């Protein structure tokens, strides 16, 4: 109970007075809110009507132009109209269009054809007038002819203002002139607006910096004079709403632009009524009355309910206040609860008791969380007095809770006071790492991370700090080991790169040796043939000599043949020697692709012929040289020819196993050509084709589909690396009729082309 003078005022009466006063205040606020909201709604409704009317005015212009464009598109697609206009048959065109124009002349006041030079060709609305040049008089005609595309909008011309749309006319992609529709933008237009939306409408045209004139209107004169202060805003293209007229509910001023985008006038709309705004004002009055009745009813009901409900409130409040004082004082172990016999308060009592139980549960949960933190945790006030600490902190520093940190002298707290001071002053979390000499530790020291978390009261002042310390000795050790690992990483990477480069060099050498092995048989054929010829020539000279028929002419002829065969053997041996050596790995020069292919065939041609494989050449002459290692490129050609040979031989072998009496002969076609900035080598065979499902693995090192002992699986992998190093690409394609096509693309430089083409 509270005392006022000598009289005791019951708490229930105080509550009732507060509630009644609150209801009265709520009623006042509600009334103001209803009045303000409804007023804003009325204004918003008027503004929406103003904006929608402006949109409707512009949409009506767009609809008129769209309708005219649809009709014009229909007309220009009529071949008879295009043909008559292209032939300049004025009377024929007029007679053909006359019935069509009769159907639309009520809304199209201008139907006009213009020649490409701007001369009037035919006015359907005035057929006797033609031949005058319109370029200076009609800016839309001038733009339509110059642009040769659709031009539409409002035009102010010599005949006044109107809606115009011009479309170009074409015959066989040749521009033959333009066709125009003109619609009214005057009395008929404003009458249509009045019929659709109500009110009165007027069209004004600017005729000077500060003046304007009326062109058309639904009345002879507007009821409301237009405020001159709005002219500058209208000239800038801004629509305006004026509510200062006693003869109209609202006046809207809507500027309009000509086809080029220039503001040339404005449309004035005078509205006598706005249905939605009127309805909102009626609703406003009704809501006010309903709110008044509702507030009065709530006050009466509250007085009755509170008078009977708040009688036992004092006892419940007293018990609640007692528990609050216990909790505020820090006695979280207090286990009091609220109980009362009043049925009305059972829900409140249960809720308060639930809060008390939740506080107990929260206490246990916080205790478990604090004890579960893997570190030392304690709680200090502004005087650096430790209020509580977890078990780990108490086990490490048994007297911690009895001392102030300002007087604690152990090494663990050397930087403690500064950390806490920063947290109290900044109001944010502060951290610090520190290492301490501990002889008992394995490394001779321990490293800890200290975190200070400020705790503020309801006013935002920091009153306590939670201190958490975690042992990061293992983390520091791991960071040190990682740093040492990173210092040696670069050296290990360099060694790994060297090992990989050496592996690639060995793989390339193995591929070259494999290619040389492939050439052994062909080389034997190439050398055996000239050696046989030399042997026959020597035998013939010997026979002639014994027969006495050896003359100088015959001897010179045979000697020259022997020298030629010896030179052929020498060239083969020299080329194989150069190929096997290959030059340095960084050897680069300009070379001819055609010559490289010929060199490869000089080593493999006889071998291919011996296997019954015909080689067809299709070299494009005067190809530019490319930049790279010619010996490596020749190795690629030999690898591809070897694969093509094996594929053809396998096909022939399979067909012979199936007793095919007329198998297709083996053939390899070699083509060179240019494609843009690339030079392409194309090798096509009629062999067995690529293995199905393994197309993506053909460039993998050591991957081969050949029988064991026939092929290393390095040829295509090395070839792929050589071509990629030259900036090119290798593409394999399976032919529809069987066989494989290989495309080797190498870019060439323009300076090389200029020197060789």
Taking only the tens place, the pLDDT of each residue in 35-60 is 666 666 666 766 777 788 788 888 88
The residue among 654, 732, 657, 653 whose CA lies nearest residue 689 is 732
pLDDT more than 90, % of the chain: 11
- Which CATH number is 462's domain given? 3.30.450.20
The residue among 201, 258, 232 whose CA lies nearest residue 53 is 201
Q: Of 346, 367, 388, which closes a domain?
A: 367
- Strands 666-675 and 678-685 come out as antiparallel
User: By mean pLDDT, which of 20-29, 369-378, 662-671 is the weakest?
Assistant: 20-29
Burial of 67 (0-12, 13-18, 19+ CB in 10 A): middle
User: Are 243 and 385 in the same domain?
Assistant: no
**Residue 6, pLDDT score:** 43
Q: Contact 592/748 with Cβ under 8 angstroms?
A: no
Domain count, the chain: 4
Q: Is the pLDDT of residue 27 over 70?
A: no
**Residue 753, pLDDT score:** 44
Q: Is the pLDDT of residue 170 over 90?
A: yes
Contacts of 158 (CB under 8 A, 6+ apart): 137, 138
User: Are 617 and 709 in the same domain?
Assistant: yes
User: Are 392 and 330 in the same domain?
Assistant: no
Query: In Å, how far from its chain's centre is CA 749?
Result: 36
Q: Give me the half-sphere count of Cα atoms (radius 13 Å) on the Cβ side of residue 209.
A: 0
Q: Of 367, 390, 410, which closes a domain?
A: 367
Q: What is the DSSP letter of 428?
A: S
Q: What is the DSSP string of 438-453?
A: -TTSTTSEEEEEEEEE
- Has residue 259 been placed in a domain? yes
Residue 757 confidence class, pLDDT cut points 50, 70, 90: very low
| Average pLDDT over every residue of 441-447 | 68
User: Are 674 and 708 in the same domain?
Assistant: yes
- Distance in angstroms (rounded) separating the CA atoms of residues 338 and 317: 10
Max mean pLDDT range (435-449, 501-515, 535-549):
535-549
Q: Is the pLDDT of residue 371 over 80?
A: no
Q: Of 522 and 126, which is predicted with more confidence?
A: 126
Mean model confidence pLDDT for the chain: 76
pTM score = 0.37
**Residue 92, pLDDT score:** 92
**Inter-CA distances, 708 with 330, 519, 711, 715, Å:** 88, 19, 8, 15
User: By mean pLDDT, which of 165-169, 283-287, 730-734 is the weakest?
Assistant: 283-287
Q: Contact 631/582 with Cβ under 8 angstroms?
A: yes
Torsion sign across C-alpha atoms 740, 671, 728, 579: positive
- Distance in angstroms (rounded) separating the CA atoms of residues 100 and 398: 110
- Strands 200-206 and 110-114 come out as unpaired
- Distance in angstroms (rounded) separating the CA atoms of residues 543 and 698: 58
User: By mean pLDDT, which of 190-194, 225-229, 326-330, 502-506 is the weakest?
Assistant: 326-330
**Residue 152, pLDDT score:** 92
User: Are 335 and 418 in the same domain?
Assistant: no
- Distance in angstroms (rounded) separating the CA atoms of residues 563 and 131: 94
- Has residue 190 been placed in a domain? yes
Count helices and strands in the chain by DSSP H and E runs: 17, 24
Please write the tens of the pLDDT for every residue from 177-234.
999 998 888 888 888 888 888 888 888 888 877 788 888 888 888 877 765 677 888 8
Q: Contact 340/311 with Cβ under 8 angstroms?
A: no
- Has residue 705 been placed in a domain? yes
What does the block give as tokens for 91?
């009377």
User: By mean pLDDT, which of 531-535, 575-579, 617-621, 687-691 is the weakest?
Assistant: 575-579
Sheet harboring 430-437: ordered strands across? Answer: 386-389, 376-381, 462-471, 445-456, 430-437
User: Are 348 and 397 in the same domain?
Assistant: no
**Residue 136, pLDDT score:** 84
Q: Is the pLDDT of residue 537 over 80?
A: no
Burial of 266 (0-12, 13-18, 19+ CB in 10 A): buried
Helix (H, G, I), strand (E, B) or coil at 681: strand
Q: What is the DSSP letter of 19?
A: H
User: Are 583 and 718 in the same domain?
Assistant: yes
| Average pLDDT over every residue of 231-258 | 79
Q: Contact 248/270 with Cβ under 8 angstroms?
A: yes
User: By mean pLDDT, which of 449-453, 471-475, 504-508, 741-745 is the weakest?
Assistant: 504-508
Q: Is the pLDDT of residue 4 over 50?
A: no
- Has residue 743 been placed in a domain? yes
User: By mean pLDDT, which of 37-41, 150-154, 266-270, 517-521 is the weakest?
Assistant: 517-521
Q: Is the pLDDT of residue 261 over 80?
A: yes
Torsion sign across C-alpha atoms 166, 167, 170, 173: positive
User: Are 588 and 661 in the same domain?
Assistant: yes
Max mean pLDDT range (162-176, 388-402, 691-705):
162-176
Q: Is the pLDDT of residue 151 over 90?
A: yes
User: Are 335 and 264 in the same domain?
Assistant: no
- Which CATH number is 618's domain given? 3.30.565.10
Q: Of 445, 471, 497, which closes a domain?
A: 471
**Residue 546, pLDDT score:** 81
- Has residue 497 been placed in a domain? no
- Has residue 714 been placed in a domain? yes
Q: What is the DSSP letter of 133?
A: B
Q: Residue 545 CB: number of other CB atoms within 10 A?
A: 11
- Distance in angstroms (rounded) separating the CA atoms of residues 327 and 362: 13
- Distance in angstroms (rounded) separating the CA atoms of residues 350 and 340: 11
Contacts 24+ apart (CB under 8 A), 661-665: 665/612, 665/614
- Distance in angstroms (rounded) separating the CA atoms of residues 262 and 256: 8
Residue 31 confidence class, pLDDT cut points 50, 70, 90: low
- Has residue 287 been placed in a domain? no
Rg, Å, the chain Cα set: 52
Q: How far apart are the first and last CA of the chain?
A: 115
Please write the tens of the pLDDT for every residue from 574-598.
556 555 555 555 678 888 999 889 8
- Distance in angstroms (rounded) separating the CA atoms of residues 224 and 38: 27
User: Are 326 and 452 in the same domain?
Assistant: no
**Residue 677, pLDDT score:** 85
User: By mean pLDDT, which of 211-225, 557-571, 576-590, 664-678 is the weakest?
Assistant: 576-590
Q: Of 164 and 757, which is predicted with more confidence?
A: 164
**Residue 574, pLDDT score:** 57
Please write the tens of the pLDDT for every residue from 70-124.
888 888 889 999 999 999 999 999 999 999 898 888 888 889 999 999 999 999 9
- Distance in angstroms (rounded) separating the CA atoms of residues 399 and 413: 14
Q: Of 381 and 111, which is predicted with more confidence?
A: 111
Q: Is the pLDDT of residue 3 over 50?
A: no
| Average pLDDT over every residue of 713-724 | 74
What does the block give as tokens for 328?
């505020």
User: Are 350 and 412 in the same domain?
Assistant: no
User: Are 250 and 361 in the same domain?
Assistant: no
Helix (H, G, I), strand (E, B) or coil at 366: helix
- Distance in angstroms (rounded) separating the CA atoms of residues 526 and 169: 76
The residue among 576, 582, 578 whose CA lies nearest residue 505 is 582
**Residue 329, pLDDT score:** 44
Range of the domain at 362: 313-367
Angle between helices 90-104 and 79-86 (to 10 degrees): 140
- Distance in angstroms (rounded) separating the CA atoms of residues 123 and 682: 68
Q: Where are the alpha helices (DSSP H) in 122-186?
A: 139-147
**Inter-CA distances, 295 with 27, 288, 307, Å:** 6, 11, 18
Helix (H, G, I), strand (E, B) or coil at 594: helix
The residue among 651, 608, 625 whose CA lies nearest residue 740 is 651
- Has residue 711 been placed in a domain? yes
Residue 572 confidence class, pLDDT cut points 50, 70, 90: low
Q: Give me the half-sphere count of Cα atoms (radius 13 Å) on the Cβ side of residue 33.
A: 8
Q: What is the DSSP string of 521-536?
A: HHHHHHHHHHHHHHHH
């Amino acid at each position: 109970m509270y005392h006022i003078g000598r009289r005791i005022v019951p708490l229930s009466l105080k509550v009732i007075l507060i509630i009644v006063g609150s209801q009265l205040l709520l009623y006042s606020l509600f009334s103001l809110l209803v009045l303000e909201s409804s007023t804003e709604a009325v204004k918003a409704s008027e503004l929406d009507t103003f904006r929608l009317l402006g949109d409707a005015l512009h949409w009506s212009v767009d609809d008129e132009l769209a309708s005219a464009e649809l009709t014009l598109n229909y007309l220009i697609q009529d071949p008879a109209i295009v043909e008559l206009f292209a032939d300049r048959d004025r009377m024929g065109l007029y007679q053909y269009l006359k019935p069509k124009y009769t159907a639309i002349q009520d809304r199209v006041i201008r139907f006009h054809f213009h020649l490409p030079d701007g001369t009037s060709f035919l006015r359907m609305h005035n057929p006797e007038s033609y031949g005058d040049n319109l370029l200076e008089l009609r800016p839309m005609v001038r733009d339509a002819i110059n642009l040769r595309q659709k031009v539409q909008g409002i035009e102010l011309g010599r005949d006044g203002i109107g809606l115009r749309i011009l479309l170009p006319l074409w015959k066989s992609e040749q521009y033959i002139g333009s066709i125009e529709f003109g619609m009214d933008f005057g009395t008929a237009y404003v009458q249509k607006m009045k019929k659709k939306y109500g009110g009165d409408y007027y069209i004004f045209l600017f005729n000077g910096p500060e003046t304007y004139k009326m062109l058309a209107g639904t009345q002879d004169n507007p009821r409301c004079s237009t405020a001159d202060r709005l002219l500058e805003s209208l000239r800038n293209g801004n629509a305006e709403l004026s509510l200062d007229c006693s003869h109209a509910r609202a006046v809207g001023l809507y500027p309009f632009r000509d086809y080029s985008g220039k503001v040339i006038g404005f449309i004035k709309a005078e509205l006598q009524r706005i249905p939605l705004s009127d309805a909102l004002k009626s609703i406003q009055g009704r809501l006010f009355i309903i709110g008044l009745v509702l507030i009065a009813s709530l006050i009466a009901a509250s007085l009755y309910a509170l008078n009977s409900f708040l009688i036992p409130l004092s006892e419940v409040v007293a018990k609640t206040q007692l528990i609050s004082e216990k909790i505020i004082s820090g006695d979280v172990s207090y286990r009091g609860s609220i109980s009362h016999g009043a049925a009305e308060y059972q829900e409140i009592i249960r809720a308060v008791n639930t809060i008390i139980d939740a506080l107990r549960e929260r206490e246990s949960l916080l205790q478990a969380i604090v004890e579960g933190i893997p570190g030392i945790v304690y709680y200090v006030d502004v005087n650096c007095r430790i209020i509580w600490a977890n078990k780990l902190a108490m086990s490490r520093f048994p007297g911690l809770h009895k001392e102030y940190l300002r007087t604690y002298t152990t090494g663990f707290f050397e930087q403690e006071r500064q950390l806490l001071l920063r947290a109290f002053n900044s109001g944010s979390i502060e951290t610090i790492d520190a290492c301490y000499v501990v002889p008992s530790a394995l490394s001779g020291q321990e490293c800890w991370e200290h975190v200070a978390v400020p705790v503020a009261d309801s006013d935002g002042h920091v009153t306590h700090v939670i201190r958490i310390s975690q042992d990061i000795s293992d983390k520091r050790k791991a960071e040190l080991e990682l740093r040492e690992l990173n210092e040696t990483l670069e050296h290990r990477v360099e060694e790994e790169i060297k090992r990989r480069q050496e592996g690639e060099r060995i793989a390339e050498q193995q591929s070259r040796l494999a290619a040389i092995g492939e050439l052994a048989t062909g080389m034997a054929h190439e050398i055996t043939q000239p050696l046989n010829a030399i042997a026959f020539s020597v035998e013939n000279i010997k026979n002639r000599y014994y027969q006495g028929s050896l003359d100088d002419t015959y001897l010179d002829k045979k000697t020259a043949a022997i020298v030629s065969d010896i030179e052929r053997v020498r060239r083969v041996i020299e080329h194989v020697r150069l190929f096997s050596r290959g030059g340095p790995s960084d050897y680069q020069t300009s070379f001819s692709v055609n010559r490289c292919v010929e060199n490869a065939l000089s080593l493999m041609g006889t071998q291919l012929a011996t296997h019954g494989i015909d080689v067809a050449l299709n070299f494009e002459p005067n190809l530019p040289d490319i930049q790279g290692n010619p010996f490596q490129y020749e190795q690629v050609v030999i690898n591809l020819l070897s694969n093509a040979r094996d594929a053809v031989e396998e096909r022939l072998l399979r067909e012979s196993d199936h007793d095919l009496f007329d198998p297709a002969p083996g053939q390899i076609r070699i083509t060179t050509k240019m494609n843009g900035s690339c030079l392409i080598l194309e090798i096509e065979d009629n062999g067995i084709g690529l293995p199905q499902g393994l197309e993506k693995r053909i460039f993998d090192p050591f991957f081969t589909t050949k029988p064991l002992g026939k092929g290393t699986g390095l040829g295509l992998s090395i070839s792929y690396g050589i071509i990629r190093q030259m900036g090119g690409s290798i593409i394999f394609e399976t032919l529809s009729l069987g066989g494989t096509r290989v495309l080797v693309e190498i870019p060439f430089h323009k300076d090389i082309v200029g020197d060789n083409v």
